[in-house]
Structure 1
């Protein structure tokens, strides 16, 4: 896909990718989605668009090109809020991101932890900066119960024998399907 075919990015755009590592593929399979990772566009640095993300081992920013280069088959999707962020919201978004950079990744996906994971990072940044909520907060019981094909054996192993059924989380898939956002680009 040529760069000319992609629309101009905006601060606050969400960028969805699929990381081709077993653990992240299990996240996608469990949520019945192609995506397993999300980041948020924060602006430009030296003319290059930047995406902030929570990733292993900690939250950071990288160029848009480096972010999407990690995606399986370079597939990515850009979703946008219905109204562009004003200058004040953009500044608050950048400040919310800056406060989270360097925060360790949470491999247990606990929404109420001090640590971050990608969908929690995006959810918190938009909520804090703009009062906008993206995605669906749900328990592991709700998430795993919705997908009869979810491989509970993998998740039991991941959680050392005990799935935290009541733990609240949020997924990239729920943010991808968020009804008040618009898909502005998908190179599927």
Structure 2
């Protein structure tokens, strides 16, 4: 690599550094990067779409579940200018164009997972109908699986279950969930629950959906929103 007159012991660290930098660059290049438009062409009705929202409570959810993701929606329509995501978010559950959904994710981080068994045309229609039934429901800041309200992972789990009979994600109590991560910021959660964490409350998290064996990964990486996609953010959807 170098002529003999340049080969000195002092150059070995430099050579090693160059090789390590190259290796790091190769790993970084392996991370998937795409545009919202290209990603849209890969999506199907029923896909679970995971992002990372920067708001503090969502960051605490990610930390408590030891996962990068803290929010999830489900693709409910791909017939328009861009895919439509059904989601439970504050203050009400709603439908959101993919580009707008993606813009809320830190750095454009996104992962798409799909049920292992392909959906039939009838099941895809059922996904849209199940999502429509859950529009306009208040967000449950208590993350209670059995409340009359909604939160993101419960919403996606229920839509897919109702439409396909497949349950994704693990139902668990707060006690089980928080005990798995000794570094959980319990001070935050005590304040969040006004001093009394509901330890026996059942919930389901975005992380548990992401890890479900009934889903497989379709895309995992970063997607950018171009100007054309931003112009389509006001797409409306009706079942």
Question: Is the TM value for this pair above 0.5?
Answer: yes
Give yes or no for contact 2:73–2:152 (8 Å, CA) kept in 1.
yes
Normalised to the residue count of structure 1, the TM-score between the two structures is: 0.96
Task: Indicate the residue corresponding to 1:2 in structure 2.
Answer: 34
- The gaps in structure 1 that reach 5 residues or longer are none
Task: Indicate the residue corresponding to 1:80 in structure 2.
Answer: 114
Give yes or no for contact 1:139–1:168 (8 Å, CA) kept in 2.
yes
What's the offset of the Cα at 1:82?
1.1
Could you list the per-position Cα deviations for residues 113-146 of structure 1 after superposition, in whole angstroms to 9, with x for gaps in the alignment? 1100000000111111110110000000000011
Counterpart CA distance in 2 for 1:48 and 1:79 is: 18
Task: Indicate the residue corresponding to 1:111 in structure 2.
Answer: 145
Task: Indicate the residue corresponding to 2:84 in structure 1.
Answer: 50
Could you list the per-position Cα deviations for residues 57-89 of structure 1 after superposition, in whole angstroms to 9, with x for gaps in the alignment? 010001111101100111000001112211111
What's the offset of the Cα at 1:56?
0.2
With over 3 angstroms needed to count, the CA separation of the structure-2 counterparts of 1:14 and 1:115, relative to structure 1, is same
Task: Indicate the residue corresponding to 1:28 in structure 2.
Answer: 62
Secondary structure (helix, strand or coil) at the match of 2:144 reads: coil
What's the offset of the Cα at 1:150?
0.6
What's the offset of the Cα at 1:5?
5.8
Residues 1:163 and 2:209 aligned together:
no
Give yes or no for contact 1:110–1:167 (8 Å, CA) kept in 2.
yes
What's the offset of the Cα at 1:47?
2.7
What's the offset of the Cα at 1:103?
0.3
Q: Number of residues paired by the alignment?
A: 188
Normalised to the residue count of structure 2, the TM-score between the two structures is: 0.76
Larger Rg: 2
Counterpart CA distance in 2 for 1:97 and 1:52 is: 6
What's the offset of the Cα at 1:96?
0.6
Counterpart CA distance in 2 for 1:38 and 1:154 is: 22
Alpha-carbon RMSD across the aligned residues, in angstroms, is 1.2
Task: Indicate the residue corresponding to 1:89 in structure 2.
Answer: 123
Residues 1:62 and 2:96 aligned together:
yes
Residues 1:154 and 2:188 aligned together:
yes
Regions of 4+ moved over 2 Å: 1-7, 44-47
Give yes or no for contact 1:10–1:84 (8 Å, CA) kept in 2.
no
Segment of structure 1 superposing worse, 57-66 or 44-53: 44-53
Counterpart CA distance in 2 for 1:77 and 1:39 is: 11
What's the offset of the Cα at 1:18?
0.4
Counterpart CA distance in 1 for 2:63 and 2:51 is: 14
Give yes or no for contact 1:59–1:103 (8 Å, CA) kept in 2.
yes
